[in-house]
Chain A
Amino acid sequence: MSRIEEILEKAAKMRDGEKNGEKSRRISPPGSKVPRVVRQARIENPNLVTIVDPDSLISEEYRKLKSMVVKLTKMDDFRNMLMVTSAIGGEGKSVTSLNLAITLAQEYDHTVLLVDADLRQPSLNDYLGIHSEIGLTDCLVDGVGIGSALIKTGIGGLVFLPAGRKVSNPGELLSSNRMREVVIELKHRYPDRYVIFDAPPVLPFAEVLSLGAILDGVIFVVREGVTPEDNMKDAVAMLKDTNVLGVVYNAAETVLLSGHYHYSHYYQNR
């Protein structure tokens, strides 16, 4: 990204900010092709409970997760680069990373950048109701400036970096030096910002390991009744060179039978 373009983008950002506040903005993508974009987050997906149903038990659990993450990352130095992954896929990585990012962003103290690093099957766009053809792949392949691909979601301090266009070699991209540079850039651009990567699953795609190795911590998602025990063990074993902060046990049926319902009653009666 050239310096002129950066300046132009900044100007446009300022202009849009003046018009529509933080919630929406419009930037011109690089190159001649101007895609149709929706840069306004429309949260309708019920899985984003932290927004749709903030008083629910599930939202409360995400808040607990946030607290844990904050606790684990603000120890000696701020370990803000996190990756959310799982063993085989379909275990709720994206939903977990989204809800975690939202709860973090809803706090006044944090800004959050959510990166859709699942280049094969990006899904965060859909959850957020955003359609943008510029994203991480564009930054990695075409050298588009990250700043131009970032989308402010309007949810607290949550900024979103979509996956971008589809490419044939997502594995190589994630394990490339360029990716490393991007990570370093993101880490240092705003030192107090959490950067959460929604990564592909561990077992089918080896590139996750190289990505995990350059990040500060990994959050591993396990879905009850879906993640095979052996696969979970294998995946955890593969992540031994990364800093696994812990596991999010997702879609637990047990909780429904336990006393957790009281929370929702509490909120409902409030």
Chain B
Amino acid sequence: MALPYAEIQKYLKMIIKRRYLFIVVSLFTMSVIVWGGYFIPRKYEAKSSIIIERNVINDLIKGVAITPSMTERIRVLRDTILSRSLILSVLRELDLDTLAADNKELEAMIVDFQKRTNVKVKKNNLFIVTFQDKDPRLAMDYVNSLVRTYVNENVTAKREEAYGASRFLKEQVAFFKGKLDRAEDAIIKFRQDQGIYVAIDERSLINEIKEYGSDIGKIKLRRNELIAKRKSIKGQIKGEEPYSVAVINNMKGNNNILIASMENRLNQLLVSYTENYPEVVKLKAEIEALKKQQSLQPTDNGLQGEVNSGDSAISTINPIYQDLKQDLNRIESEINALDAKEKMLGVMIKQKEKELRYVPEGKKKLADLEKERDSYRKIYEQLLMRLGQSEVSKQMEIANKATTFRIVEPATLPTMPVSPNRKALILAGIFFGFAGGFGAVFLQDTLDSSVKEVQTIKNLELEVLAVIPRIFNEAEQKKERKRDWFIYTIAGFYFLIICAAFIHELLGLTYIETAFADIKISLMNVIAQLQGRLF
């Protein structure tokens, strides 16, 4: 905001009115800042630049190996480089720790070095370490040592990290392999114990039960059918005689021949058929009947007498009766077979139902075991993959192919001091001098409660009849002018000295500093002498 003209005039008037105060305070403040600056010891800054390089291999093996992220590294870089342990090791390397009398002093020294060490990161991969000290050589040595130690420790740490990761993964792989093996063994054992049960599924079991049920139904139907048949045959049998009477020639010798031929026939049939075969049964019965008849012949005279009068009458097996008998036997045996089959099917249904009840429990146990095994297998496989990556990473670290720190600019011996910036200090002195002078004038003006402007009167609603300028009498004016000239001359001359000091600094000369150093030494000598006299 620009000051209005009236405001500027007001301040200018204020300064003119209290010009001596302005001059004295201004020059005093300038002197304190400008000459005081020469008592501030020089500070030199050593600087080292380190670049973090990312090897091209990193991109090639992306996904195969895992290398620490650069941003992560840079994030911790500042903390790491300023860590107590690192600074302590640098101090030890430079034998600076011997300067500390005890641990407390050493700690203070570490904190001091930490504070003075500045780490700046530029463009994400370049970092600059700076350090200021009054001894340029110490600053250079410290920065170089700090950077070297950091880089070395970083490489070691990276390798240890890679080895550590690989070792850990190996341990984990072995551990999970054991677990996986145990889980698989448990599954095998379970399968063995449970046998086929675990392989059957519920649907097929139910189908089988249904099938057996339907078979039983069929059997029952068939049996009922057979029972009915049996009843009918039994009825038929009752109406038939087991033997029928036939007239035959009374030729004893013929019976024997007949029996013999029938027995031959029976033997032939037995070769191909069982005892139950109807033809066999029939033959057997006929043979039996003929033999019976032959043995009965002498005792049956009455009968014989009748028969002997012509052809003799003989009783033979009734073939119908025989057929019915055979059918009955067959039905009986079939019924028996059906009963047996039904019984067996009943047993099987019960067994299947038992299996069906057991299936869910067994399956669950197996599923749990399999789940456990799968989970171990998954972890194991992942670990195995990571182990592979870790191995590649390790090899990369060993071959130093991953991210590397390269010192692009080691610290050199600083020749020009960075602090104090005397040019800036002198300019600041001049600025603050005038500001201080104005401040003092302003303060005095503020403290002065007298009327300073016509407006004050107008504010009281009084009429201002006239504004009379200050009257100078010539003698007084002359005297004042003389005094002013004297003071202005001295002040101007002194200000010129300050300006000369600025030019001196611009030219990079050191005369003033040398002079001040001499003054400093003389002062210290005087103080030492005074102290000697006092104590």
Contacts and interface: CB of A to CB of B under 8 A. Distances in A.
- Bound pair (A, B): yes
Interface of A: 45-47, 49, 57-58, 61-62, 64-65, 68-69, 92, 95-96, 219-220, 222-230, 232-233, 236, 244-258, 260
Interface stretch (B23-31, B371-379, B466-474, B479-487): B466-474
Contacts of B462: 220, 236, 244, 246-247
Given A224-B450, A228-B450, A247 B471 contact: no
For the complex, would chain B's binding face be called helix, strand, loop or mixed by DSSP majority? mixed
B468 A62 contact: yes
A230 B473 CA distance: 30
A249 B460 contact: no
Contact of B451 (A65, A232, A255): A232
A98 B258 CA distance: 203
A225 B468 CA distance: 13
A46 to B, nearest CB: 4
Given A220-B462, A246-B464, A251 B13 contact: no
B457 A256 contact: no
B453 interface: yes
Nearest 9 interchain pairs by C-beta = A46-B473, A65-B466, A246-B463, A246-B465, A255-B469, A251-B470, A249-B467, A68-B465, A250-B468
B448 interface: yes
B296 interface: no
B457 A247 contact: yes
Given A224-B451, A254-B9, 6 more contacts: A61-B469, A225-B451, A229-B451, A232-B451, A247-B457, A256-B470
B450 A226 contact: yes
B246 interface: no
B17 interface: yes
Given A224-B451, A226-B450, A257-B9, A249 B473 contact: no
B70 to A, nearest CB: 67
Interface of B: 9, 12-13, 16-17, 448-454, 456-457, 460, 462-474
Nearest to B473: A46
B457 A254 contact: no
Contacts of A58: 468-469, 471
A260 B449 CA distance: 26
Contacts of B471: 46-47, 49, 58, 95, 251
Contacts of A46: 471-474
Contacts of A65: 465-466, 468
A61 B466 contact: yes
Given A227-B451, A229-B449, A57 B469 contact: yes
Contacts of A57: 469
Residue picked from B12, B16, B451, B460, most chain A C-beta under 10 Å = B451
A222 B469 contact: no
A69 B465 CA distance: 8
Contacts of A257: 9, 12-13, 16
Contact of A225 (B12, B448, B466): B448
A136 B450 CA distance: 33
Residue picked from A220, A224, A230, most chain B C-beta under 10 Å = A224
Contacts of A248: 464-466, 468
B9 A64 contact: no
A261 to B, nearest CB: 10
Nearest to B462: A247
Contacts of A258: 9
Contact of A254 (B448, B449, B453, B460): B453
A80 B12 CA distance: 41
Nearest to A57: B469
Contacts of A255: 467, 469-470
Contact of A252 (B9, B449, B469): B469
Contacts of B466: 61-62, 64-65, 68, 248-249
Contacts of A64: 466
Contacts of B12: 257
A64 B464 CA distance: 11
Contacts of B16: 253, 257
Given A224-B450, A244-B462, A253 B470 contact: yes
A248 to B, nearest CB: 5
10 contacts: A57-B469, A61-B467, A65-B465, A65-B468, A225-B451, A230-B449, A232-B456, A246-B462, A254-B13, A257-B13
A246 B466 CA distance: 9
Contacts of B449: 228-230
B470 A249 contact: no
Given A247-B462, A249-B467, A258-B9, A229 B453 contact: no
A101 to B, nearest CB: 14
A233 B464 CA distance: 14
B15 to A, nearest CB: 11
A253 B13 contact: yes
A143 B448 CA distance: 46
A13 B460 CA distance: 48
A241 B464 CA distance: 19
Contacts of A68: 465-466
Contacts of A249: 451, 454, 457, 464, 466-468
Nearest to B456: A229
B451 A222 contact: yes
Nearest to A232: B451
Contacts of B472: 46
Contacts of A230: 449
A68 B473 CA distance: 26
A123 to B, nearest CB: 15
